[in-house]
């Protein structure tokens, strides 16, 4: 059977990217921004690795760890800070200062910066800053090279 592209219920999900919410982004819990940002970032990383030719699940999982670990996310945020506008810096500050539970295997400062990075991704996602989001995420390998990951 040949694959035919059809419009179905799932395609509406992609057509309405990003999700529309009935409140200002400032009123969204920053940990929810980080939660959404984590999902968007993880999906982008997997897409990126697939485009690099990694097609086996185990290999993709191992490669993805380099991108998604808290230390890497905190490092990417550090590299991005000089490029951020005031609103983006506010999102970062809110994400960094968010009260939450932290895993025991990572220091709190690194984890907070990783949360701030994810909140920034979530902010770009919710506010439809697609080009800004893509511009940063398309530089992942550049960031990892600088961080020597």
Q: Which residues are catalytic?
A: 38
Question: 68 with 46: CB under 8 angstroms?
Answer: no
C-alpha to C-alpha distance for 46 and 98, rounded to whole angstroms: 27
Q: What is each CA distance from 100 to 2, 28, 107, 147, in whole angstroms?
A: 49, 15, 13, 26
C-alpha to C-alpha distance for 140 and 88, rounded to whole angstroms: 18
Neighbours of 59 (CB within 10 A): 12
Question: 109 with 71: CB under 8 angstroms?
Answer: no
Q: What is each CA distance from 94 to 6, 48, 91, 99, 135, in whole angstroms?
A: 42, 28, 5, 10, 22
């Amino acid at each position: 059977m040949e694959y035919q592209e059809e419009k179905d219920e799932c395609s509406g999900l992609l057509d309405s990217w990003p999700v529309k919410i009935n409140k200002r982004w400032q009123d969204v819990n920053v940990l929810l921004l980080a939660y959404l940002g984590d999902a968007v970032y993880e999906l982008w990383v997997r897409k990126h690795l697939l485009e690099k030719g990694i097609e086996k699940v185990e290999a993709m999982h191992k490669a993805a760890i380099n991108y998604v670990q808290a230390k890497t996310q905190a490092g990417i945020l550090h590299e991005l800070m000089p490029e951020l506008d005031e609103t983006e810096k506010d999102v970062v500050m809110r994400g960094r200062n968010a009260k939450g539970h932290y895993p025991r295997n990572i220091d709190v400062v690194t984890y907070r910066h990783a949360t701030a990075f994810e909140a920034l991704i979530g902010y770009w996602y919710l506010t439809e800053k697609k080009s800004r989001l893509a511009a940063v995420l398309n530089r992942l390998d550049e960031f990892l090279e600088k961080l020597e990951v």
